[in-house]
Chains A and B, each alone.
Chain A
Amino acid sequence: MTYAPETSSAKAGRELTTRQRESLLSAYRTEIAIAFAIALVALAVGSQVPQALSWGNFANITQAGAPLIIMSLGVLLVVITGGIDLSVGSVFSLTGMVTAQAMAQGLGGVGAALAGLSVGLVFGSINGFLVTVVGLAPFVVTLITFAVAGSLAFIVTNGRSMPIGDPDFWLLNSGSLVPGIPNYILFCLVLLIAIEFFLKKMVAGRWFYAVGSSSTAAYLLGIPVKRTKFMAYVASSLLASFSGLLTISYILNAESTAGSSLMLQAIAAVVIGGASLLGGTGTAVGAVLGALMITVIQNGVNLIGINSFWQGSVTGFAILVAVLIDRFGKSRRSRH
C-alpha cells in the first residue's frame, strides 16, 4: 500500500487535461492486493502440500467455488446500494428443493430449472417490495424471507433430501456450451464481466453507487432510488437461485440445508473484496476474488489436514486482514 501517496503526488503535479482516463492500476488497487493475497495463501498451502498447486486442484477450487462466486455477485449488488441480503442461503436451498421436486413430479430439466429460478424471482420481488415500497429496513426484511424460504425448503419434501430425476441435468454445471470451457467457469466469467461492465460503464450501474452513497442526495438529484434498490434485490435472489441450480446439477441431489452456511460466506466474500457494508463501494472483480479467497482457504485447510472446524476461524482472520488493508489504504487517499 506504500505506493498510494506516490500516485497521488504524481497526479497533483500534472495538468488535469492529461488525466482523462482513469488508470486501471489505481482503479483496481484493492483487487490487485487481494489477488496477491490469494496467490500468497495458495503458495503457502502449496509449500505444505505440493499437489495443491496442480491443475486438478485448481479445477476443484473453481468447481467448488462457482456457486459462492455467483451468489457473492448478487449480494454485492445489494451491498453497494447500502442494503444487505440475508435470504440468499435460504433461496439457494429452496431453489434446489423446488427444482428436484418438480422433476420428481415429471417436469423436464429445463422446466424444473425455470420453476427453481422463479423462487429467486418471487423472493427477490418480495424483498424489493418490502424495502422500497413499504420502507422496512433491509436487515429485517431479508431476515424474514431468510426464515420463510428456509422453512419452505423443508416443507417441499417434508425434510427429506431429493435426488435429481433428469439424467442430463449434470450438463448445466459440467457441460461445455463453449467447447473447452466447462459451464461453471463460463457462467462465472460471463456474469463477472457483465456485472462489472454494468456497474462501471452503464448509467444505471452508477446509480447503484449513488444510492448507496446517499439515498437522499440520489433522490433529490432525480435518480430512481426505489427502482435501483428493487433491481438489486431481484438480481441478488435470482443469482442465489441460479447458484442453487448449479450446485444440484453438480452433486445431483437436493438438500433442505444446502445453502445454510453460504449466506455468511457470501457477505464475507463481498467484504473481503473491498465493499463497505455502509454502501457506495465495491466491485464485481473484488467480490469474485473475495469468494475465491474463501474457497482457497477452505480447500487449503482440507488439503493440509487441519480439523475442518478451523475453517471459520481462518476465514474470519482473512476478513480482518482485508478490512484492515482497506481501512489504511483509504485514510491515505483523502484529505479528511
Chain B
Amino acid sequence: MSHQSQPVLSVRGLTKSYGATSVLKGVDFSVARGEVHALLGGNGAGKSTMIRIITGLAAKDAGDIAFHDAAGNLLSEADGRSKVAVVHQELALLPHLTVAENIVLPQLTSGFGLFDRKRSWRLAHDALCLIDPEFADTSLHRLVGDLSLHQGQMVEIARALSFGAELLLLDEPTGNLTSAETQRLFDVLRRLTTENGLAVVFVSHRMKEIRQIANVCTIIRDGRTVVDCVATESLSDTAIVEKMGQITARQTENGSVSHVTAKNANTADDTLVIRDADMEVRLAPGTVLGVAGAPAGPLALISALVGAAKARRWMVARSGWPEAFTSPRQAARNGAGFITGDRAHKGILANLPIIDNVMASRRIVRGVWFTNSRERTECLDLVQSLKIKAASIWDLPDTLSGGTQQKLLLARWLGLPSRLLVLEEPTRGVDIGTKKEIYQLIRRMAASGTIIVWWSTENAELLEVCDRVVAFDTEGRCAGVVDKQDLSEDALANMTGMAA
C-alpha cells in the first residue's frame, strides 16, 4: 500500500480554557493515513490538552473534531475515538498479567464472561506478529512486569492494533529508550505506516528524532497552530525553534556555553573520587561528568552517589564525607543534591503547593524549624528567575505542564551552595528553549564549584554540556571514561553498545 492522503482526523478551531486561562485558542490539526506526523510545541503550548480532548479525556469548549474511516466517510465521535490509541511515556500496562492478557483483556467479550484462552492467545499473537514476530513467539506468556520499557511499548502498540486502532498517538515515546531501542521503535512505526496505513502522531522535543521519523509536522504555540501540516524537510532546525516561540538568540549564546573552570583555592583537597573494580574517576570542583548508557549502570552509580541504595560496587571518597552515604538525607545535608528522572513518582510532591515543592531541599540543608515570609520571597524569586508560569506559589503542581514541573525540581537545588549535584535526565520532556536554559543553569552551578554528575540517554546533550563522560554498556559494566576533546557521538554509541 502506498501513502494515501486521506485524513483520519481533522481538528478545526479547537478552543479550551480552564477558568480564565485559555489553553487552546483555536488549534487546527489534521492527520492523514500512512504518515508519521510530528506534533511540536514548547512546554505549555497546549499539546497535551489537545490530545486529551481528541481522546475524550477532556471536553472541548468549541471547534470541530472529525474522524474518517478508510473509505473517507465521516464517523461519529464515539466510533472515531475507538480508533485512536495513545501510548504515553508512562505505560498503561498491568504488570502482574502476561503479555497476551494485557493485549486482549480490554476486548474480551467471549461467551458467558469466560476467558477463552486459545482464542485470546491467537489474537494477541497476531497483533504482536505485525510488530515483531520473534518477540511474539517468545514472549506471549511472560509477565509484563519483567519486560523492558521498549518491549512494554511494543505491547501497548500491539494492544492498539488488536482493537483496530487507525491513529496512534505517541507522547514522547523515546524519553526512556536507548538509541538502539529508539531505532527499533522507528523501524516498527515506519513499517506500520507504510504497510498497514496506520497514522502516527509523534510528540517529542528531540529534533534529531523528529527529522528521522516524521514526514509532516504541525507546530503549536501558545494555543494556536502556527505551522499546519508542513513537510518536515522544508523546515530548518532554527525555523522550527523560531516557530515554537523559543528565543533563537539563546541558541548562539549556547554554542559557547561558557566552560568556566572553578577557581577554588583548595581544589586539590576537594577532589571527588569515584571508583569500582574497573575504573576510577577523579573530579575537581566545577567538573561536569556525563554518564551515558542504558539505565542499569548509570542508575547503580547514581544511587551509590546519593545514598539511595547500598553501594556494594562503588567507592565514593571526598574530604569531609563519610565513606558512603547511608541515605539521601545524609547526602543532602552534606551538600550532595539529587534530582530524580522519575518526576511523577519520585520527584514531585503532588499534594503540596509549589512553594513546598521548591523549598524542600533548602529546608533540609538549612535545618530550619519554621516556614516564614523570607521563604516566600525566596520562592517567588526562584519561580520568576526560572520563568515558571504559575498563577500563585500556593497552586498545586498538577496545574503546571510537565516541562514546568521539571523546572520545579531543578529549582530545589538551584542556588543552594552544594558540593555535588546528581541529575537524572533533567531535560526529559522539556522543550528546546528550556533545555538550553537548563544547560546554562547547570553550567553556572558548575562554575561556582559544584561537581555535576549528569545521566542522559541523549548523547548529543552530553557532548554539549559535559567535561567528561563515563560510559556504561548495556550490561551495566563500565565501558570507559572519555575526556571532552575525545568525545564524539560515534564513540559514545560504540561504548554504550547502543549504536544505531
Contact = CB atoms under 8 A, between A and B. Distances in A.
Interface of A: 5, 8-14, 16-17, 19-22, 26-27, 200-204, 206, 209-210, 212-214, 216-224, 279-281, 333-336
Nearest to B371: A201
Nearest to B375: A203
The secondary structure that dominates the A interface is helix
A151 B156 CA distance: 52
A217 B20 contact: no
A223 B348 CA distance: 13
A269 to B, nearest CB: 20
A10 B20 CA distance: 8
Interface string B363-388: 11000111101001100100110000
Nearest to B308: A220
B402 to A, nearest CB: 10
Which residue among A5, A206, A217 has the maximum number of chain B CB atoms within 10 Å of its CB? A217
A13 B392 CA distance: 11
Given A210-B360, A223-B329, A20 B377 contact: yes
Contact of A201 (B370, B392, B394): B370
28 contacts: A8-B20, A8-B21, A9-B19, A9-B20, A9-B21, A10-B20, A16-B393, A17-B384, A19-B391, A22-B394, A200-B371, A203-B363, A203-B368, A203-B369, A206-B352, A214-B349, A214-B350, A217-B348, A217-B349, A219-B308, A219-B327, A220-B328, A221-B328, A221-B361, A221-B412, A334-B398, A335-B398, A336-B398
Given A16-B383, A16-B391, A201-B370, A334 B399 contact: yes
B360 A214 contact: no
Contacts of A16: 380, 383-384, 390-393
Contacts of A9: 19-21
B346 interface: yes
A210 B19 CA distance: 28
A5 B21 CA distance: 10
A12 B20 CA distance: 7
A2 to B, nearest CB: 12
A165 B2 CA distance: 95
B332 interface: yes
Contacts of B376: 20-21
Given A13-B20, A20-B380, A203-B369, A222 B349 contact: no
B318 interface: no
B180 to A, nearest CB: 29
Interface string B50-72: 00100000000000000000000
A112 B369 CA distance: 35
Given A8-B20, A206-B352, A222 B392 contact: no
Interface string B318-335: 000000000111111100
Nearest to A330: B396
Contact of B361 (A12, A206, A216, A222): A222
B369 A221 contact: no
Interface in B19-61: 19-21, 23, 49, 52
Contact of B327 (A12, A210, A222): A222
B392 to A, nearest CB: 4
A197 B221 CA distance: 44
A196 to B, nearest CB: 13
B18 interface: yes
A223 B52 CA distance: 35
Contacts of B333: 222
B431 interface: no
B256 to A, nearest CB: 32
B149 to A, nearest CB: 18
B7 interface: no
A220 B346 contact: yes
Contact of B345 (A26, A217, A222): A217
B174 interface: no
Nearest to A4: B19
B112 to A, nearest CB: 35
B338 A220 contact: yes
B391 to A, nearest CB: 4
B101 interface: no
B351 interface: yes
A180 B113 CA distance: 69
B351 to A, nearest CB: 3
In order of increasing CB-CB distance, the 10 nearest A-B pairs are A280-B351, A9-B20, A222-B332, A11-B391, A222-B329, A213-B351, A8-B19, A213-B349, A22-B394, A9-B19
Contacts of A203: 363, 368-371
A210 B352 contact: yes
